[in-house]
Structure 1
């Protein structure tokens, strides 16, 4: 046993020596005079540094993890890079490092096969986080690049403003850099949150989620939580409108691309087409994590596992619902940009319930029929002309068609997938009934709209929903 300890000690020393040599060799590039200048030599030095880190830590299957200083330097290049190549290379390397050397991971206990959470407290993070507050005392050459809670909120505010700029106004290196930076930050939050969720499901240990970075950020008293959530919603709506413009060909004209070429930003313009789409998905992932956390926190509260230190905040789903109700102009862009079927359907159902009578439910018994899902209950509100007319008066026919169509799409998607990969089944009674029965009710709802008011024109999205429903019925007969 003593011999094994000595062998392990020698092995650990050898790893430290190798890591130290690797850090010295790669960081030497950073100390060159050219590295700190905006020149081709500086760009080459940065690219050499990124390649050195990748070659040492990522390429070998058992390569050592890069040191904190090295990762911090890669992050600095992402934050300060002034070329598409530098920004994309540093972004990809940071994600590779996070995937290969996660700060939080799940291990299997050798005793009983249960899963345990392993947290590497020494791992580098792009956030300045301590138990309850953000620390401004983080040491390091590039510590000013890191995000505290105020910096994170201001960053998302900047994204919200960027999302509503015209295509030509976005076509600069800063826009590209900030969008990729946001995607990386969300990846870090997800890498910390999702393993905690998976172990929490087994152990129901609330502390695992209480200590996640996401909760620490949102729980800070130094930021207005509701304003932050509204900025997230605004960002996803703005980016969604941009993509709708691309589909229509209205925001990516030849004139716009020619102007980009004249400004030498063609590479940025082409990169942004895809990056804006992935940024929209990243914002969606952030919002999903927050809504998932809200559900788990409610569960913990019901089990008396929370305390006053956990604080009280309005669930994000409720904030979204209130904003969409207050400003209906946001509805089309939100439904277009937000693709998470489970939460989309939940929000649409709750939106309908604000304007319709809450559907009655049958008492579930062991031998009795299963109670209707909330969406089936909403569709029953269109079963007669009187209730349909009242809904139209309160909501407007176009809004009703929009909600019905998107809810139908989400329902069918969930029917085939059952749940989103990596996320919990927080609404176990959302899906109920066959696709055939649902299709019949969707067709009946649209027929009720038309019979109630002959002036109502079915939208293109409504026609797609009706065609899909008719196809399902025809293939089932």
Structure 2
């Protein structure tokens, strides 16, 4: 494969050094921005064109990353973010080898010297941490990552929405890129763990290292994830449906924003929602793998103790009922949404059996089908209605049923058996019957009960499925 000439490489390096100069970081003249665009195009030509495809140097990656972080135009931040993502796809830091034969196991390849936008580890000096989030530091440390998400959570505040500026949009794309880096590192490691049960492959991931950092406020980070997902989700849902959720209409505010920024904010807002959801799903997957490793005795004290994200979400939904509906609408991962809903219900349902402290095996009916069976009992339905309210029950059951059907459809598409031991629990027909039974029970307890629109839709779907399969 032909490499770019030394002259081209030397020119790119020279341009890189100019951009990395501290005085250039805050220089945003038209000429300076044109130089940055030319630099991005040169890196693309040197690293991504079929005839070249030479990995970028550390300084090149750092320069592109700084353009993303500190660029002041939509062209700069979008072009730099796109280039970074393309380079990561072409030259991954972590990947699994493709076994040539089914009998040969996969191998995990980790390029330890590859450039990364994160500054992690215990050997980082205080001076490095102090500059990690300023104009000359460039790279992101755990507190810097949390600070970035805190800013997005503030911007996502539904009741106190403010018109976005270029810096907000830059931070949205920056967060999206950082989550993509975490995903590219975590997913192959977690897949390798499932195949080999070697916990160190996940323990050493960027995600686990960052969450375990003594400088990271883990619970605060996860709560800001919930805030960002719910806030942006509400904004985007109102704009798409043109129906105000409250007395303050986001649609009217949106019309007063600069057209280019407004259009970009809607697009970047969806990207940010997707990145936030992706981060939360990765953390729940990490929690699941760590729990499994702990049960097998593969973890040590060095792994620490961290509250599972599902429990943090349950607490947030319990203490702030106003975010229940926005969260269920925005959290679109069916597997973990159903798991969160099931755990939420079982938090308030009396357990019928006595379990020892060392028992890690879930109860047989700790599934969505089991939840429906339990609530269809009048005493249990009355008890849980007092604890969380009828409206919350309607929302949880409707979204849980939707997630259950999506998972069941996916299982059938993959040719998997509809097993009661699966997360969804129970057959489709059985679950439909139990869902209708629950709402009949709720009606008996309160004859004046008004069924919410989402619950009516769930009941209609369940009845339709039963009629077609009878």
Q: Say whether the 8 Å CA contact 1:36–1:42 is kept in structure 2.
A: no
Q: Post-superposition shift, 1:160?
A: 1.3
Q: Say whether the 8 Å CA contact 1:128–1:135 is kept in structure 2.
A: no
Q: Which residue of 2 aligns with 1:352?
A: 345
- Secondary structure in structure 2 of the residue aligned to 1:436: helix
Q: Post-superposition shift, 1:379?
A: 0.6
User: Structure 1 residue 443 and structure 2 residue 436: aligned?
Assistant: yes
User: Structure 1 residue 186 and structure 2 residue 175: aligned?
Assistant: no
- Secondary structure in structure 2 of the residue aligned to 1:105: strand
Normalised by the length of structure 1, the TM-score is 0.85
**Unaligned regions of 5+ residues in structure 1, if any?**
1-10, 362-369, 422-426
Q: Say whether the 8 Å CA contact 2:338–2:424 is kept in structure 1.
A: no
Q: Say whether the 8 Å CA contact 1:134–1:149 is kept in structure 2.
A: no
Q: Which residue of 1 aligns with 2:34?
A: 44
Counterparts of residues 33-182 of structure 1 (less than 5 Å): 37-60=27-50, 63-108=53-98, 113-130=104-121, 137=128, 144-164=137-157, 169-182=162-175
Deviations along 1:262-289, one digit per CA (max 9) or x if unpaired, are: xxx3111101112212211111111111
Q: Which residue of 2 aligns with 1:229?
A: 222
CA RMSD of aligned residues (A): 3.1
Q: Say whether the 8 Å CA contact 1:149–1:222 is kept in structure 2.
A: yes
Normalised by the length of structure 2, the TM-score is 0.87
Q: Post-superposition shift, 1:142?
A: 7.1
Corresponding residue to 2:234 among 241, 245, 249? 241
Corresponding residue to 1:333 among 316, 326, 329? 326
Matched residues, number? 448
Q: Which residue of 2 aligns with 1:256?
A: 253
Distance 1:36 1:179, change over 3 A: closer
Q: Say whether the 8 Å CA contact 1:344–1:410 is kept in structure 2.
A: yes
Counterparts of residues 202-351 of structure 1 (less than 5 Å): 202-249=195-242, 250=244, 251-253=249-251, 255-260=252-257, 265-351=258-344
Q: Say whether the 8 Å CA contact 1:104–1:118 is kept in structure 2.
A: yes
Q: Distance in 2 between matches of 1:34 and 1:247?
A: 40
User: Structure 1 residue 23 and structure 2 residue 23: aligned?
Assistant: no
Q: Distance in 2 between matches of 1:276 and 1:31?
A: 29
Q: Say whether the 8 Å CA contact 1:50–1:90 is kept in structure 2.
A: yes
**Unaligned regions of 5+ residues in structure 2, if any?**
355-362, 415-419
Distance 1:440 1:15, change over 3 A: same
Q: Post-superposition shift, 1:135?
A: 7.5
Q: Post-superposition shift, 1:238?
A: 1.5
Q: Say whether the 8 Å CA contact 1:172–1:268 is kept in structure 2.
A: yes
